[in-house]
């Protein structure tokens, strides 16, 4: 496992590092091999991602945020494969903000999201490892006066194949640091992989189990004050006036500061700040959103869904063919606003000194957050040092292009000129954060007299998550927000006439991508409705899908695998129903089959989920399985419980008592089956979420005959059955 390094508090402050077992988070690494070699001949840094010390310690710098999805293991595996080092002995370090660490697909932004970590570094990290290996081999060959082709590397050593001489990587570090990186590198053929494709335990598991892992909420610096913020009760409300007289009388409270997002109470500890917030007297101008309500929005969305929207996909003449169909089916589906609700609430520590700012936080968008802080402070971007800690869950909430939780901490530090840590309470997060949009869909299909699907029309209504962000131009095509219609405008089923259109109403509720983004709602609608059509055509839902996927072999393969493992051809146990779904998102193909029962109270019990996945070439099978299980838990929480509602402009939910998560008693048995593939690796962090809701709802229909078209599942509707 990773080696544990002890460090004094004084040394911690001198280096700005956060030590967590063998993991070093927030350490700034010079980027070029030349500059690092000049600073220290004891370190070999062939590129921005690797450094080798003369002590044989190899540090891999990871430019993706670790929030439980396993990138601190899977990405080092890519480098270790080509470098030929012992992966169990490496240290992992979070990357500083620098162009060298920009996302290879996102342009000038360093960040983590879109289930893209492995895909975006698949070649980059392997080349980094191969380049370092070649330089270490060249250094050894120079010492031995042999041709580099006579040497190989293995487990952290360079070996002369004829004489069996060995030199450790550390002993070659100084020599290699004077060499120029090769212009061209050859990568291993997959049949020669020793690490990639093998189940590998998470390298950060020990630190997370023994409690030494450092999350943003754990970080402390001398003189640090803790801050909570009284936020508007209504989105967009402004402070008309406030009295802090009682707050300043609370023991431990030091300051009260007004900032753009509300009134900040600064104290020596969390509890003092919390009591100080309670004592505040604030008068709000609630603004135009004071009348917002879920019921009114639902009515408005329903009306919009009956009108033409901006066309996202058009093939054939869907309207005409629908009118001619022997059987016409129309349904309306709804899903609510959803909170991200990561276990670690949002937090940010800012230490501002003369011409330098240090920020510690768990973020998914390092460049944007760093630049936002620099703009607020009037500092050069290179004078703002953002240190990425472990993230206690993200799900998209910590990838906010508006940099909300970072910016507010910077505003407070600027006002006080003291180190401050802002902490969001769970109530802050549930009642005043950003949400997965509420969606309303109207969908119609036509079937001919032979039960063939001839026409498909799908109108989607919901807010855009990319409007007004740096990603808008890339994600918007012909006036359509692609993230709103993904999973709907690219349905794989063989249908000759298709029309998909979109309405993007402007509502005063802040929205943001949520784990699986648009797929989180489109999969529920599409896969539920295709099930409806199958039953209307008097066909088996699995066989109906299989027939419509004849031109999409990867969809078809995962569907068949899930059906086989679920025993689709065998009767389900009495009192249970079985449902199935298939969906592609983030490049990966997923099918899920669920077995459910419904209790007399109407409560749904999900007993078993079979999940099959084709995500291309697999780096770490253990991570793939874990992320499928995690996605199923996340999706089930939303399907069974998740709902953010508004009344009089206010969010009605506040904590886990009225916005619950899936509990152990509700957890089904999950089987994950991975399709062997030689295709390019694709995403696994999010694709497990979309198929679970339709699989469960289709199973409920198979058992009860009741079609679920609104989430979360209302047990009162099932109670009457």
CA angle 632, 522, 599 (to 5 degrees): 50
Alpha-carbon distance of 432 to 654, in angstroms, equals: 9
Contact in structure between 222 and 267 (CB atoms under 8 Å): no
Task: Look at residues 527, 535, 592 and name the one whose alpha carbon lies nearest to residue 563.
Answer: 592
Alpha-carbon distance of 325 to 445, in angstroms, equals: 9
Contact in structure between 207 and 72 (CB atoms under 8 Å): no
Residue 307 CB burial class (10 angstroms; 0-12, 13-18, ≥19): exposed
Alpha-carbon distance of 23 to 5, in angstroms, equals: 9
Q: Residue 560 is inside which H or E element, if any?
A: helix 553-566
Task: Flag whether pLDDT at 712 surpasses 60.
Answer: yes
Sign of CA pseudo-dihedral 110, 112, 114, 118: positive
Task: Look at residues 510, 438, 513 and name the one whose alpha carbon lies nearest to residue 289.
Answer: 510
Q: Which residues are paired to 445 by β-bridges?
A: 329, 456
Peptide bond into 712 cis (omega under 30): yes
Task: Flag whether pLDDT at 563 surpasses 50.
Answer: yes
What would the mean pLDDT of 644-663 be, rounded to a whole number?
97
Alpha-carbon distance of 75 to 638, in angstroms, equals: 30
- The confidence score (pLDDT) of residue 26 equals 31
List b or e across 133-149, with b for residues whose CB sees 16 or more CB atoms inside 10 angstroms: bbbbbbbbbeebebebe
Task: Flag whether pLDDT at 156 surpasses 80.
Answer: yes
Stated pTM of the model: 0.93
What would the mean pLDDT of 59-81 be, rounded to a whole number?
98
Confidence of residue 275 (pLDDT cuts 50, 70, 90): very high
Task: Look at residues 173, 214, 293 and name the one whose alpha carbon lies nearest to residue 18.
Answer: 214
Residue-wise pLDDT for 36-57, tens only, equals: 444 444 789 999 999 999 999 9
Residue-wise pLDDT for 18-38, tens only, equals: 322 233 333 333 344 344 444
129: CB partners within 8 A, 6+ apart: 50, 78, 79, 80, 81, 82, 83
Task: Flag whether pLDDT at 375 surpasses 90.
Answer: yes
Q: Helix, strand, or coil here: 373?
A: helix
> What mean pLDDT is reported for the chain?
93
- The confidence score (pLDDT) of residue 39 equals 45
What would the mean pLDDT of 600-627 be, rounded to a whole number?
98
| Domains of the chain in sequence order | 9-210 (3.30.365.10), 217-287+347-423 (3.30.365.10), 294-338+435-719 (3.30.365.10)
Confidence of residue 432 (pLDDT cuts 50, 70, 90): confident
């Amino acid at each position: 496992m990773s080696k544990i390094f002890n460090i004094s508090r004084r040394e911690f402050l001198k280096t700005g590092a956060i030590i967590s077992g063998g993991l070093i988070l927030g350490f700034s690494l010079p980027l070029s091999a030349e500059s690092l070699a000049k600073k220290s001949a004891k370190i070999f840094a062939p590129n921005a991602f690797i450094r080798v010390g003369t002590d044989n310690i190899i540090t891999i710098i990871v430019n993706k945020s670790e929030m439980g999805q396993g990138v601190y293991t899977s990405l080092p595996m890519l480098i270790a494969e080509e470098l030929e080092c012992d992966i169990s002995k490496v240290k992992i370090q979070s990357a500083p903000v620098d162009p060298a660490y920009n996302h290879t697909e996102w342009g000038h932004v360093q960040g983590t999201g879109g289930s893209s970590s492995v895909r975006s570094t698949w070649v980059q990290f392997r080349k980094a490892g191969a380049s370092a290996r070649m330089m270490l081999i060249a250094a050894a060959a120079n010492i031995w006066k042999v041709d580099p082709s006579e040497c190989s590397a293995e487990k952290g050593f360079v070996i002369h194949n004829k004489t069996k001489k060995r030199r450790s990587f550390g002993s070659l570090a100084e020599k290699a640091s004077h060499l120029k990186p090769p212009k061209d590198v050859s990568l291993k053929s997959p049949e020669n992989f020793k690490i990639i494709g093998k189940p590998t335990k998470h390298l950060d598991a020990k630190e997370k189990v023994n409690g030494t892992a450092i999350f943003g909420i754990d970080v402390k610096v001398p003189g640090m004050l803790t801050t909570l913020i009284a936020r508007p009760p209504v989105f967009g409300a402004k402070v008309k006036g406030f009295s802090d007289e009682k707050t300043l009388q609370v023991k431990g409270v030091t300051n009260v500061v007004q900032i753009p997002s509300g009134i900040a109470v600064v104290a020596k500890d969390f509890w003092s700040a919390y009591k100080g917030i309670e004592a505040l007297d604030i008068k709000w101008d609630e603004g135009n959103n004071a009348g917002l309500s879920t019921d009114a929005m639902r009515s408005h969305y329903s009306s919009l869904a009956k009108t033409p929207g901006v066309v996202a996909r058009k093939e054939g003449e869907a309207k005409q063919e629908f009118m001619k169909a022997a059987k016409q089916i129309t349904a309306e589906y709804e899903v609510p606003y959803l909170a991200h609700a990561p276990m670690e609430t949002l937090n940010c520590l800012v230490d501002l000194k003369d011409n330098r700012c240090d920020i510690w936080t768990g973020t998914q968008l390092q460049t944007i957050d760093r630049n936002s802080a620099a703009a607020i402070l009037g500092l050069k971007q290179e004078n703002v040092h953002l240190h990425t800690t472990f993230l206690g869950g993200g799900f998209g909430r910590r990838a906010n292009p508006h940099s909300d939780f970072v910016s507010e901490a910077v505003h407070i530090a600027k006002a006080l000129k003291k180190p401050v840590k802002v902490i969001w309470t769970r109530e802050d997060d549930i009642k005043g954060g950003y949400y997965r949009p509420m969606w309303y869909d109207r969908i119609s299909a036509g079937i001919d007299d032979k039960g063939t699907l001839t026409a498909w029309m799908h109108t989607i209504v919901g807010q855009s998550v990319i409007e007004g962000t740096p990603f808008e131009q890339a994600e918007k095509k012909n006036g359509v927000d692609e993230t709103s219609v993904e999973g709907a405008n690219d349905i794989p089923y063989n249908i000759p006439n298709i029309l998909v259109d979109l309405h993007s109403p402007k509502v005063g509720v802040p929205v943001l991508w949520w784990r699986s983004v648009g797929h989180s709602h489109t999969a529920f609608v599409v896969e539920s409705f295709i099930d409806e059509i199958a039953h209307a055509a008097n066909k088996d839902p699995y066989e109906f899908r299989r027939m419509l996927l004849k031109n999409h072999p990867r969809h078809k393969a995962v569907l068949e695998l899930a059906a086989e493992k679920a025993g689709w051809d065998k009767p389900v146990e009495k009192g249970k129903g079985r449902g199935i779904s298939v969906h592609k998102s983030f490049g990966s193909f997923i099918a899920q089959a669920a077995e459910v029962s419904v209790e007399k109270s109407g409560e749904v019990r999900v007993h078993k989920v079979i999940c099959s996945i084709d995500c291309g070439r697999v780096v770490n099978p253990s991570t793939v399985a874990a992320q499928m299980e995690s996605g199923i838990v996340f999706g089930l929480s939303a399907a069974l419980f998740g709902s953010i509602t508004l009344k009089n402009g206010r969010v009605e939910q506040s904590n886990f008592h009225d916005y619950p998560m899936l509990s152990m008693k509700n957890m089904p048995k999950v089987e994950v089956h991975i399709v062997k593939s030689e295709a390019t690796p694709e995403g696994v962090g999010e694709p497990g979420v979309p198929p679970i809701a339709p699989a469960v709802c289709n199973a409920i229909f198979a058992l009860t005959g009741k079609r679920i078209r609104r989430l979360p599942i209302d047990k009162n509707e099932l109670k009457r059955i």
